[in-house]
Amino acid sequence: MKHILYILTSLVFALIAGATFGMTTGADVHTSMAGAVGLSMGLSVAASFAPASTFNGLGAVMLKQMWETEMLNAFRSSGNWMQAIPRKDQYVGNNVINLTEIGADPTLLINNTSYPIATAARVDDNVALALNKYDTTNTKVTRDEMQALPYDKVDSVIRQHKDVILEGTRKHGLWNLAIAGDSATTPLVETTGADNGSSRKAIRTADILKLKLRLDNLFAPEEGRSLVMCSAHINELLLEDQSFNLRYQNHTEGKMITRYHGFDIYEDKYNPVYTAANAKKAFGAAAAGTDRNASVCFIAGRSFQATGTLEMFYRDKANDPENRETVVGFQLYHIIAPKKTTAFGVIVSDDLA
């Protein structure tokens, strides 16, 4: 009975302290990282009201569940170009997503006078894709470190793991959306500007318009045309196009312009690179002097993202009498990919002649 009262008291103080901290920081305790810190502080306060044997198990479970929830919330609310891509979490089961690719469109008849009108079945394709598995290597924090440091190192480590997963999935997702190379349905456009200072031709507005024309010729939908520009191309376009320069930042809100020659414009530092032969380099391949910068174009409605299970692997120092170490690691199942790559494209930095 005493243990039950201790647990209830611990929970109450954890929630009060956590909510108080969240409110003082102006954050939603259920959906923000500030709320996670607040609950962590609340758990620390609650620890003084419960026996160590009781709180160690309870606190570790609550901490694990809290951080799993907060990381998923942070992941699903991450900004930039990822917000343009539809989420398909509802089609995920056992970390596999089941998608249906609809069949051919019906033929449109104008002023038809011939009957009977032809009838055909629409054949849909069902595709099952396994989500990518992202693991972080474990990080340990010793009890001696916790005693000596003036900050919560475990909390810092967990945040670091969160950042690594968020950045890694974003980088891998953008690589997945980038086309392998030029084809009739996946246009690759080379830059045509002057020397950008790195023995490459700078991007020009004309290059973006050329990509637009090739998409128009493929009857690509106008809505959802997204161009994720690399930092080098953004800087070059700022110098080349004064109107882009003036509209690059919304000085009131501090946001990039959202529309430019028919494209939703984004900027990312994790863009893939291409070889001198205009082939997409393997993900994670070592950098080379011949690498070409690339701005990636995708159609939002022909792309998808989905999140499967997320698990935090956590062992508290109280459960490690030999080493007195707390160990943390994460595993996430997730995917960003095209449903079909028709009208996906890329602009790559061409070499100087």
Let me know whether 139 and 55 are in one domain: no
Angle between helices 153-177 and 52-76 (to 10 degrees): 30
Asked if the model's pLDDT at residue 171 lies above 90, the reply is yes
Between CA 220 and CA 226 the distance in angstroms is 12
Q: State whether 290 and 145 are in the same domain.
A: yes
Claim to verify: residue 109 and residue 198 sit in the same structural domain:
no
123 and 43 assigned to the same domain:
no
Confidence of residue 248 (pLDDT cuts 50, 70, 90): confident
Please report which confidence band the pLDDT of residue 254 belongs to, taking 50, 70 and 90 as the band edges: low
As a whole number of angstroms, the distance between CA 98 and CA 90 comes to 10
pLDDT of residue 100: 78
Report yes or no: 301 and 221 within 8 Å, Cβ to Cβ: yes
Span of 139-153, 179-193, 328-342 with lowest mean pLDDT: 139-153
Do 220 and 326 belong to one domain?
yes
Task: Give me the domain span that covers residue 96.
Answer: 91-130
* pLDDT at 24 exceeding the cut of 60: no
Considering only CA atoms, which of 338, 291, 344 is closest in space to residue 127?
338
Shared-domain flag, residues 120 and 73: no
pLDDT of residue 28 exceeding 80, the answer is no
Domain match, 123 and 177 both: no
Q: Is there a single domain that holds both residue 171 and residue 36?
A: no
Give the C-alpha separation, 302 to 215, whole Å. 14
Query: 18-32, 71-85, 257-271, 287-301: which has the minimum mean pLDDT?
Result: 18-32
Q: pLDDT band for position 45 (50/70/90)?
A: very low
Q: Is there a single domain that holds both residue 49 and residue 182?
A: no
pTM of the entire structure?
A: 0.78
Given a cut of 80, whether residue 69 has pLDDT beyond it is no
Backbone angles phi, psi at 43, to 5 degrees: -60, -40
3-state DSSP assignment of residue 210: helix
What pLDDT is recorded for position 150? Answer: 83
Q: Tokens 């607040």 sit at which residue?
A: 38
DSSP per-residue letters across 112-168:
---SSPP------EEEEEEPEEEEPPPEEEEHHHHHH-SS-HHHHHHHHHHHHHHHH
The answer to whether 162 and 74 are in contact (CB under 8 A) is yes
Q: Residue 16 pLDDT > 60, yes or no?
A: no
Q: What is the pLDDT of residue 258?
A: 75
Residue 251 pLDDT: 52
340 near 129, Cβ under 8 Å? no
Q: What is the pLDDT of residues 122-146, one digit of tens each?
A: 888 888 899 999 999 999 999 988 8
pLDDT at 74: 66
- What tokens appear for 297 in the block? 């174009």
Check residue 256 and give its pLDDT: 65
Q: Are 38 and 18 in contact (CB under 8 A)?
A: yes
- Average pLDDT of every residue of the chain: 82
* Tokens of residue 223, six digits: 């809505």
Confidence at residue 93, expressed as pLDDT on a 0 to 100 scale:
92
pLDDT above 80 (res 338) = yes
Handedness of CA 325, 17, 11, 73 (dihedral sign): negative
124 with 148, same domain: the answer is: no
User: Count of domains in the chain?
Assistant: 3
Mark out the alpha helices in 218-319 (DSSP H runs): 231-240, 242-247
CA 15: distance to chain centroid? 30
Instruction: Note whether 4 and 100 are same-domain residues.
Output: no
What is the rounded CA–CA span in Å between residue 271 and residue 310?
Answer: 25
Neighbouring-strand partners of residue 130? 96
Please report which helix (H) or strand (E) contains residue 26, including its range: none
Three-point CA angle 130, 135, 140, nearest 5°: 165
More confident of the two residues 8 and 177: 177
Whether the predicted pLDDT of 20 surpasses 80: no
Q: Do residues 194 and 302 both lie within one domain? A: yes
- Longest Cα–Cα distance of the chain, Å, equals 88
The pLDDT, as a whole number, for residue 179 is: 97
